[in-house]
Amino acid sequence: MNIIVGIEDINLYGSRLSVSAKELAAFRNLSEKGLKDVGFTKKTIVPLFEDPVTLAVNAAKPLLDAIDKNTIGLLIVATESGLDYGKPISSYVHRYLDLNTHCRNFEIKHACYGGTAALQMALNWLRLESPDKKALVISSDVARPHIGHLAELTAGSGASALLLSHQPKACIIGPVTGYASREVYDVARPTLKYEHGNPVLSLYSYLDLLELAWEDYAKKASISPQNFKEQFDYILFHTPLISLVDKAFSTLLKNIYEDIENEEIKTSFHQMVYPSFLYNYELANIYSGSLYAALAGLLEVVHEEKGQMKKVGFFSYGSGACAEFFSGEINPAFTSKVHKKIKEHLETRRVITPEEYEKLVYDYEDILHLKDYTTDLNNAYYKDLYQNSNLLVLESIADYYRNYKWS
């Protein structure tokens, strides 16, 4: 028996600050071609009183305000920006979301695949639970700086929050998934401050595992790979940069259809993939949350189209490496007060100058290792953008323990 589960509601949170990708590229003397390849218009910046915990809580809280929180039986937080080798950030998130004692919580890590691993684990849990139970999956990350490199334009910060249930008003997630794994040292965070990256290796690993995961999915779903375009109205990708998604889609179609023309690929890309970039443009690559930012953007676009359920393919990739291809059906009639506010939230963030951005980045790096720290909440960012906004902020660190408060 196929038990229907999926996403009941969705939210994104990108702090209250951003920087223009174009202005940052000019500030760093990065090439126009590089800026075009990246494709993002802005990237999220976190002030010193935000971190992976606050991003996660501020993304999820609006979803919980409208429901009975006692129905949440599972909380999973995916992150590669963990703050402790033992204590998961999910424990802080559980506390500040005021979830019940009998809600299981844990942190999960597998680079940008972690959010999908959490999603699939939570969906399988739901299939075994009573219909009134819900799960909460959050992906939350803070980017490494990459000062002066093209990756600086791609690395965003932010969080996605998915409310999962037996009433998937936004998106039904199908039970069939295709996997592919291979040990690769393409992107990694061997220390709290350093991020290793081999962009060429990561590109080829992404493309290789996409092909393998798709073939595994097609085999399990008993469909001919040649029916790819007939199977889906839209395809959502983990989006580390726009040009990589373009390349991935093109490579996949050429592998499936030997005689396909470039013009047909271009048309298919604009029909099946391009609409999902709405919020990725504003956030840049938010790691595990990137794929679900694409879903949130597509839900906004198809809502304008109305009509029947839309078939969607999802491709998730995480360095290291693991990938997964799965499918779902999104509802063009979906609407929620929370999802409606995503666009306004992202568009009304303060766009700071590259000089302001650079100071914040260096100051943030300086506090990462601190045992004790008291946040300055008398600065303009807090007073202008956070005060009386009921957002969670970091108040202090005492003997490595993090204390938070509501603004």
Query: Using CA atoms, how far apart are residues 329 and 234, in angstroms rounded to an integer?
Result: 10
The predicted pLDDT at position 1 comes to 67
Distance of CA 78 to the CA centre of its chain: 10
Specify whether the CB–CB gap between 56 and 77 falls below 8 A: yes
* pTM, rounded to two decimals: 0.97
Looking at the DSSP bridge assignments, the partners of residue 286 are none
Query: Using CA atoms, how far apart are residues 65 and 338, in angstroms rounded to an integer?
Result: 10
CA distances from 257 to 62, 84, 206, 226, 250 (A): 44, 47, 20, 7, 10
Per-residue pLDDT of the chain (407 residues; tens, 9 = 90+): 689 999 999 999 999 999 999 999 999 999 999 999 999 999 999 999 999 999 999 999 999 998 999 999 999 999 999 999 999 999 999 999 999 999 999 999 999 999 999 999 999 999 999 999 999 999 999 999 999 999 999 999 999 999 999 999 999 999 999 999 999 999 999 988 888 899 999 999 999 999 999 999 999 999 987 888 889 999 999 999 999 999 999 999 999 998 899 999 999 999 999 999 999 999 999 999 999 999 999 999 998 776 789 999 999 999 999 999 999 999 998 989 999 999 999 999 999 999 999 999 999 999 988 999 999 999 999 999 999 999 999 999 999 999 999 99
Specify whether the CB–CB gap between 296 and 218 falls below 8 A: no
Specify whether the CB–CB gap between 333 and 310 falls below 8 A: no
Specify whether the CB–CB gap between 47 and 78 falls below 8 A: no
Specify whether the CB–CB gap between 76 and 97 falls below 8 A: no
DSSP character at residue 222? T
The predicted pLDDT at position 295 comes to 98
Specify whether the CB–CB gap between 137 and 115 falls below 8 A: yes
Specify whether the CB–CB gap between 327 and 311 falls below 8 A: yes
Beta-strand pair 310-318/234-237:
parallel
DSSP string, 11-71: EEE--SEEEEHHHHHHHTT--HHHHHHH--SEEEE--TT--HHHHHHHHHHHHHTTS-GGG
Collapsing DSSP states into helix, strand and coil, what is residue 221? coil
Domain ranges of the chain: 6-352
Q: Does domain 6-352 have CATH number 3.90.1150.10?
A: no
Query: Which run of H or of E encompasses 378?
Result: none
SS (H, E, C) 296-343: HHHHHHHHHHCCCCEEEEEEEEECCCEEEEEEEEECCCCCCHHHHCHH
Instruction: Provide the token pair at 121.
Output: 């684990």
The candidate with the shortest Cα–Cα distance to 331, out of 364, 313, 305, 354, is 305
The predicted pLDDT at position 191 comes to 87
Instruction: Provide the token pair at 112.
Output: 């940008």
Query: Using CA atoms, how far apart are residues 159 and 84, in angstroms rounded to an integer?
Result: 19
CA distances from 63 to 66, 309, 358 (A): 6, 23, 33
Query: Using CA atoms, how far apart are residues 9 and 5, in angstroms rounded to an integer?
Result: 12
Q: Give the chain's count of helices (H) and strands (E).
A: 16, 17
Query: Using CA atoms, how far apart are residues 402 and 395, in angstroms rounded to an integer?
Result: 8
Specify whether the CB–CB gap between 77 and 88 falls below 8 A: yes
- Name, in order, each residue with C-beta under 8 angstroms of 159's C-beta and a sequence gap of 6 or more: 12, 13, 52, 55, 56, 58, 59, 60, 138, 139, 140, 141, 286, 289
Looking at the DSSP bridge assignments, the partners of residue 196 are 188
For the annotated catalytic residues, the residue numbers are 80, 112, 238
Instruction: Provide the token pair at 16.
Output: 């209250």
